[in-house]
Amino acid sequence: MTTTTLGYEDLPRLMSLMTGDEKHSPAATSTLDVVWTLYDQILDVDPADPDHPDRDRFYLSKGHGPMAFYAVLAVKGFIGVEELPHWAGYESHLGWHPDRVLIPGVEIGSGSLGHGLGMAVGAALALDARGQEGARVVCLLGDGELDEGSNHEAIAFAARAGLDRLTAIVIDNQSARHGWPGGVHRRFAVEGWGTSTVNGRDHAALREALTTVKDGRPHAVVAVVERR
């Protein structure tokens, strides 16, 4: 496994190993630039020690379409590139939805929408109870996933509890069946979250939005990408 010879430009090729498509433009996967920016510039995680207690926790709540996630994990050395072509096979560790039990460095198993944010709230509470320094909890959702009411239980509670190690990222590809009038961010802002809305393809903007200071409240970053 190597972490030095692969980079962002390799992601389309790595995704093609899974999908079989000749070419894979970044636009084909809504999460690609966010996940890349997280692993390349934001998250404090180490493939050599994926369970380190001080690490940042990344909860991929929106677990479907994980090719970009797997490709980034391969580039960063959490999984081997040679695993990618076998994805979703019987013996593969890489399914259509990630399984934390099978993949080192994957924090949660997901697939069914609306589970990750509540779990992230629990992780943040546990880290607070332990007095753990650092260790952000970053949860990635989609604007369609926000339809699930479980998210709104978590959104309301997280701000009341002052969980400032928690960041929610919402990939907004305008796929919610009935939309979010006024913008996704308002659902968080009204409950007391800090919010920002950025271009979900702009690495510099994502980096700035995801580099939050602890100010007593959780933060939501709405990453807007092409309409689905």
Partner 1 sequence: MDTMRERFGTVASELLDSDPNVAVVVAVIGAGRFADSGALHRHSDRVIDVGIREQLMMGVASGMALEGMRPIVHSYAPFLIERAFEQIKLGLGHQDVGAVLVSIGGSYDSAASGRSHQCPGDVALLNTLPGWHIDVPGHPDEVEMLLRHAVACDGRHYVRLESLQNERPVATEPGVIEVVRRHPAPRAVVVAVGPLLDEVVAGVADLPVTVLYAATVRPFDGATLRRELAETPDVVLVEPYLEGTSAAAVSAVLRDTPHRIEALGVANVEHRHYGSAEEHRAAHGLDAAGVRTSVGAFLAGV
Q: For partner 1, which is the closer residue by CB, 57 or 217?
A: 57
CB of 227 to partner 1, least distance (A): 29
CB of 122 to partner 1, least distance (A): 2
Q: For partner 1, which is the closer residue by CB, 31 or 151?
A: 151
At CB < 8 A and 24+ separation, what contacts does 127-135 make?
127/165, 128/163, 128/165, 132/53, 132/54, 133/54, 134/44, 134/54, 134/56, 135/53, 135/54, 135/55, 135/56, 135/57, 135/165
CB of 189 to partner 1, least distance (A): 19
Distances (CA, A) of 180 to 141, 144, 166, 176: 14, 9, 22, 7
Residues that bind partner 1 (CB under 8 A): 99-101, 107-109, 111-112, 114-115, 117-130, 149-150, 153-154, 156-157
**53 with 83: CB under 8 angstroms?**
no
